[in-house]
């Protein structure tokens, strides 16, 4: 049962997500929503005592294990093994014995259970009042944080109060490696076997109030250290001792409390891993981080966390008046995007961040296309580091291109550390657009930050190698047009097609931008072997890029011949057959007009200048009617283009769908992790959709429009060293420079100068438009019926 079916587990509040009572049936969802991460360490919102759980999860960015990729019929270039994120040593675990009975919510009497994710404090707190089966009542209060300021550190403050009788407490605070995990449904037994106990012990040590465990992953050979230390505050007789075995570190605290007395334990946790450093080096690294955290202290960590977030929210806050649920959802969304990337530091940002095991922890094009536009404007260092990670895997991408018979770099469709991990090439290898998506992320990041050094030092090589890929992947036909055949665009219900418009437009941009940046940085380009002939060949290919157009229908076909295909029989497809990929074969999905996720519409979002206003409206209407949104990567894009084409209420509906995907468990799989791309798309829907924000080398412009049910939306954006806030109401829009030097911007085409004083402009009227239709039963939930 999904949480949506079970009733909403969360209350609606502006700055936190509160679960006022325990929803056992929604445990998987709450574990993901309550996950804490700094982009390096991720901890699912598992209960302190470990059980009951849906999916126990502690993750370290890019710490993976190899798993076999089997094929019924193999083929050249198929990857033989994949990479999968693993549940590392669990340091969240604090077990509690109340007199002689274990604290377990499934037994005894739970009179109060509240959990709160505080988006300003960056903490997950929990308050419990529980009577043991023997009727001994205690109160437990825990606060957990994964530090945004000290990358290796997490910490927990754990307090137990004896309520009405003297109580003996035994607290076992642990590090546990190779936790037993729930069996995956339909798991391949060989894969299950490979991942059953992925960690091999290398060292285990205990200190007086802590322990350190060092392990290596069995196949991938990565070294991982986890350490803990404790501060214990309790009655004088309280005893603390520690022990360690291969897979367990345990600090035991025994205290006898009188009624009203509290035992308070602060647990400091430190994590580190390396593929190259020695055992002593990794061991010492986590102990040093732990020492620094203890030096900071619990209150210090809390204060640092809040200060970091206060600074973030100045720009990042989005205010949505008139819809408290979305107000909460959009802040949670921005928070999770930050958590996914904040301290990833040249490692990948996964599709689920570090909130769950979904998609094996892989990174896809989601990062560049959905998450980075947000980070470039709200946490630009994180965006830059994500692109530096891409540059760091260029060797693997170039090797892959060579294996595929192509020039330049072919980035993996899904990966953790750079190797292609896709076991289904029609929706993996063939989806070459990821390379242009990376190039476009560079372009957008440079436009957002004005960081030309980054463009030269990091961007150029990415641009050159992806441009080379496109030049070798496409060819000129006899009519002189540059075609890219046999590839797969964003829509996963269509594959292996010729001249996918999205792909060709993005490749065109990639080729042009690479030539431009190379021309502006001739020495750096020359070091990469780029000469004038090569740059000219990129520009030529871009100039003659084929963009198919259906003259009869007056729309762009998603790819060559697409609009000649049979329409999916939406009328006779019952609701329970969605998502279609679980109930219909790929061959049938591929050959019919049915779209899983925005593809041509995404092309319009990312390259609006390639379409006339009329084409945009006609295309949007055409693709609305065949898009089923079986992917969470779709609604936010539809929101943007709906807003641009004047369908503002529809944009509002899609915005809500994107924002609520995890709070409402709309896809039914939030238990496996947060939909980071949809979270990010929520912000894009505000800034790009309603705000009409666009950036390029020439500047930043806005074209604000507001859906009528919403009286006010305010959002902020970092732009080239400035923090700018845009506040829209029904009648007017205010542009305000929060910090940074004076700047220029455009408002619906009008050039404005902005300095200390805010500038206010009228909102233009929104012309009435013909309504568009979605496939039978697949329209978004109306946010305001009627």
Residue 253 and residue 240: Cα distance in Å, rounded?
4
- Distance from C-alpha of 84 to C-alpha of 194, rounded to nearest angstrom: 10
User: What is the chain's alpha carbon radius of gyration, rounded to the nearest angstrom?
Assistant: 27
When binding is defined by CB under 8 A, the residue of 1, 276, 478, 749 that contacts a copy of itself is 478
What Cα–Cα distance (Å) separates residue 503 from each residue in 435, 473, 634, 638? 10, 12, 17, 18
DSSP state of 775: S
- Among 84-92, 514-522, 579-587, 647-655, the segment contacting a copy of itself (CB under 8 A): 579-587
113, containing H or E segment: strand 109-118
Q: Find out whether 365 is annotated in a ligand binding site.
A: yes
Residue 294: CB atoms within 10 Å: 20
Query: Is residue 740 near a copy of itself by the rule CB under 8 A?
Result: no
590 binds a copy of itself (CB under 8 A): yes
- Could you tell me the two tokens for 481? 């047009």
Rounded Cα distance, 287 and 398, in Å: 38
- The reply to whether 554 sits near a copy of itself by the rule CB under 8 A is no
Q: Please tell me whether residue 561 binds a copy of itself under the rule CB under 8 A.
A: yes
Between CA 502 and CA 637 the distance in angstroms is: 13
Q: Is 657 a catalytic residue?
A: no
596 is in an annotated binding site: yes
Do the bridges between strand 743-747 and strand 699-702 make them parallel or antiparallel, or are there none, so unpaired? parallel
Q: Which residue in the list 65, 492, 534, 657 is annotated as catalytic? A: 492
Distance of alpha carbon 342 from alpha carbon 151, whole angstroms: 9
Contact string 188-227 vs a copy of itself (x = CB under 8 A) = x-x-------------------------------------
Considering the rule CB under 8 A, would residue 69 count as an interface residue with a copy of itself? Answer: yes
Handedness of CA 329, 335, 339, 341 (dihedral sign): positive
Decide if residue 522 touches a copy of itself (CB under 8 A).
Answer: no
Q: Does 480 bind a copy of itself (CB under 8 A)?
A: no
Is 475 a residue that touches a copy of itself (CB under 8 A)? yes
Q: How many residues contact a copy of itself, by CB under 8 A?
A: 52
Could you say whether residue 744 binds a copy of itself (CB under 8 A)? no
Which residues have a Cβ under 8 Å from the Cβ of 104 and sit 6 or more positions away?
49, 51, 52
Number of Cβ within a 10 Å radius of residue 378: 27
Strands 101-102 and 109-118: unpaired
Q: Which one of the spans 329-337, 371-379, 581-589, 650-658 is the region binding a copy of itself (CB under 8 A)?
A: 581-589
Least distance (Å) between residue 71 CB and a copy of itself: 6
The only residue of 70, 280, 522, 764 in contact with a copy of itself, by rule CB under 8 A: 70
**What does each C-alpha distance from 95 to 123, 175, 522 come to in angstroms?**
20, 11, 62
771 binds a copy of itself (CB under 8 A): no
Instruction: Pick one of 66, 250, 592, 747: the residue that binds a copy of itself (CB under 8 A).
Output: 592
Structure tokens at 38: 């700094």
Q: Do you know the residue count of the chain?
A: 786
Interface mask toward a copy of itself for 300-339; x: CB under 8 A: ----------------------------------------
102 touches a copy of itself (CB under 8 A) = no
Residue nearer to a copy of itself on the CB measure, 310 or 477: 477
User: Please, which residue, 42 or 428, has the CB nearer to a copy of itself?
Assistant: 428
Applying CB under 8 A, which of residues 109, 241, 583, 739 lies at the interface with a copy of itself?
Answer: 583
Question: According to the binding rule CB under 8 A, does residue 76 interact with a copy of itself?
Answer: yes
Find the binder of a copy of itself among 591, 694, 761, 776 (CB under 8 A): 591
Instruction: Confirm or reject binding of residue 582 to a copy of itself (CB under 8 A).
Output: yes
487 binds a copy of itself (CB under 8 A): yes
Nearer to a copy of itself by C-beta: 21 or 193?
193
Instruction: Retrieve residue 736's tokens.
Output: 């305000």
Q: Which of 421, 333, 418 is nearest to 83 (CA)?
A: 421
**Burial of 618 by CB count in 10 Å (0-12 exposed, 13-18 middle, 19+ buried)?**
middle
List of E strands, 461-579: 475-476, 482-483, 566-567
Q: How far is the CB of 505 from a copy of itself (least distance, A)?
A: 19
Q: How far is CA 684 from the centre of its chain?
A: 13
Q: Pick one of 271, 312, 335, 425: the residue that binds a copy of itself (CB under 8 A).
A: 425
Stretch that binds a copy of itself, among 310-318, 339-347, 370-378, 419-427 (CB under 8 A): 419-427
Residue 597 annotated as part of some ligand binding site: yes
Does 776 participate in binding a copy of itself (rule CB under 8 A)? no
Closest to a copy of itself by CB, 77 vs 133, is 77
592 is in an annotated binding site: no
Nearer to a copy of itself, 487 or 661 (CB): 487
CA distances from 653 to 625, 627, 649, 659 (A): 16, 15, 6, 10
Shortest gap between Cβ of 596 and a copy of itself (angstroms)?
A: 13
Nearer to a copy of itself, 427 or 446 (CB): 427
On whether the CB atoms of residues 285 and 211 are closer than 8 A, the answer is no
Q: Which DSSP state fits 555?
A: B
Distance (Å, whole) CA 197 – CA 372 = 34
**Backbone phi, psi, residue 325, to 5°:** -65, -45
Binding residues for substrate: 365-366, 596-597
Q: Which residues bind a copy of itself (CB under 8 A)?
A: 69-79, 82, 186, 188, 190, 403-405, 422-426, 429-430, 475, 477-478, 483, 485-487, 495-496, 498, 552, 560-561, 564-566, 581-588, 590-592
List active site positions: 492
């Amino acid at each position: 049962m999904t949480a949506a079916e079970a009733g909403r587990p969360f209350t609606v509040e502006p700055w936190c997500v509160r679960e006022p009572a325990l929803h056992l049936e929604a445990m998987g969802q709450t574990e993901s929503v309550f996950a804490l991460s700094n982009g390096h360490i991720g901890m699912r919102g598992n209960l302190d005592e470990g059980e009951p759980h849906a999916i126990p999860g502690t993750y370290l960015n890019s710490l993976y294990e190899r798993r076999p990729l089997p094929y019924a019929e193999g083929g050249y270039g198929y990857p033989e093994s994949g990479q999968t994120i693993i549940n590392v040593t669990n340091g969240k675990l604090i077990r509690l014995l109340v007199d002689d009975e274990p604290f377990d919510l499934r037994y005894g009497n739970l009179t109060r259970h509240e959990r709160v994710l505080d988006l300003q404090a960056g903490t997950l707190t929990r308050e419990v009042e529980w009577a043991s089966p023997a009727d001994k009542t205690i109160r437990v209060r825990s606060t957990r944080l994964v530090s945004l300021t000290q990358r290796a550190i997490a910490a927990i403050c754990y307090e137990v109060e004896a309520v009405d009788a003297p109580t003996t407490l035994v607290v076992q605070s642990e590090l546990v490696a190779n936790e037993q995990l729930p069996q995956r449904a339909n798991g391949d037994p060989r894969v299950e076997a490979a991942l059953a106990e992925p960690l091999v012990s290398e060292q285990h040590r205990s200190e007086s109030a802590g322990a350190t465990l060092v392990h290596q992953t069995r196949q991938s050979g990565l070294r991982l250290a986890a350490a803990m230390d404790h501060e214990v505050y309790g009655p004088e007789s309280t005893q603390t001792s520690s022990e360690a075995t291969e897979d367990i570190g345990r600090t035991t605290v025994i205290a006898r409390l009188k009624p009203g007395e509290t035992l308070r334990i602060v647990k400091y946790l430190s994590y580190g891993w390396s593929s190259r450093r020695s055992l002593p080096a990794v061991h010492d690294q986590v102990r040093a981080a732990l020492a620094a955290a203890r030096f900071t202290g619990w209150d210090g960590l809390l204060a640092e966390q809040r200060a970091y977030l206060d600074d973030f929210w100045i720009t990042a806050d989005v205010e949505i008046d008139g819809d408290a649920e979305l107000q909460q959802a959009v802040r949670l969304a921005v928070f999770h995007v930050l958590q996914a990337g904040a301290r990833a530091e040249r490692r990948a940002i996964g599709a689920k961040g570090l909130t769950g095991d979904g998609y094996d922890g892989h990174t896809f094009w989601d990062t560049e296309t959905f998450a980075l536009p947000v980070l470039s404007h709200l946490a630009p260092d994180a965006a830059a580091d994500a692109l530096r990670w891409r540059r760091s895997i260029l060797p693997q991408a170039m090797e892959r291109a060579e294996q595929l018979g192509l020039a330049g770099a072919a980035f993996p469709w899904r990966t953790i550390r750079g190797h292609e991990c896709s076991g289904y090439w029609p929706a993996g290898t063939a989806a070459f657009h990821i390379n242009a998506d990376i190039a476009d992320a560079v372009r957008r990041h440079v436009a957002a930050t004005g960081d030309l050094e980054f463009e030269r030092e990091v961007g150029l090589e990415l641009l050159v190698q992806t441009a080379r890929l496109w030049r070798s992947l496409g060819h000129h036909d006899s009519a002189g047009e540059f075609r890219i055949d046999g590839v797969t665009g964003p829509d996963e219900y269509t594959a292996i097609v010729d001249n996918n418009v999205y792909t060709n437009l993005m490749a065109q941009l990639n080729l042009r931008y690479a030539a431009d940046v190379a021309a502006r940085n001739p020495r750096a380009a020359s070091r990469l072997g780029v000469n004038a002939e090569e740059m000219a060949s990129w520009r030529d290919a871009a100039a003659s890029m084929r963009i198919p157009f259906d003259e009869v229908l007056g729309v762009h076909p998603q790819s060559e011949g697409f609009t000649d295909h049979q329409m999916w029989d939406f009328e006779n497809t019952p609701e329970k057959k969605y998502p279609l990929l679980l109930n219909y074969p790929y061959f049938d999905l591929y050959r019919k007009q049915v779209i899983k996720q925005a593809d041509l519409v995404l092309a319009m979002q990312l390259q609006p200048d390639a379409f006339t206003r009329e084409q945009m409206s006609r295309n949007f209407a055409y693709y609305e009617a065949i898009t089923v949104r079986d992917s969470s990567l779709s609604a936010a894009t539809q929101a943007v283009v709906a807003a641009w084409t004047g369908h503002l209420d529809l944009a509002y509906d899609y915005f809500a769908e994107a924002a609520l995907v995890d709070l409402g468990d709309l896809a039914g799989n939030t238990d496996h992790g947060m939909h980071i791309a949809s979270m990010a798309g929520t912000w894009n829907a505000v800034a790009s959709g309603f705000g009409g924000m666009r950036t390029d080398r020439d500047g930043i412009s806005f074209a604000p429009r507001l859906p009528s049910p919403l009286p006010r939306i305010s959002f902020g954006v970092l732009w080239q060293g400035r923090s700018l806030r845009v506040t829209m109401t029904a009648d007017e829009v205010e542009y305000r420079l929060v910090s940074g030097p004076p700047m220029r911007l455009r408002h619906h085409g009008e050039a404005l100068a902005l300095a200390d004083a805010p500038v206010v402009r009228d909102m233009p009227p929104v012309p009435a438009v013909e309504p568009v239709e979605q496939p039978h039963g697949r329209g978004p939930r109306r946010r305001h019926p009627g």
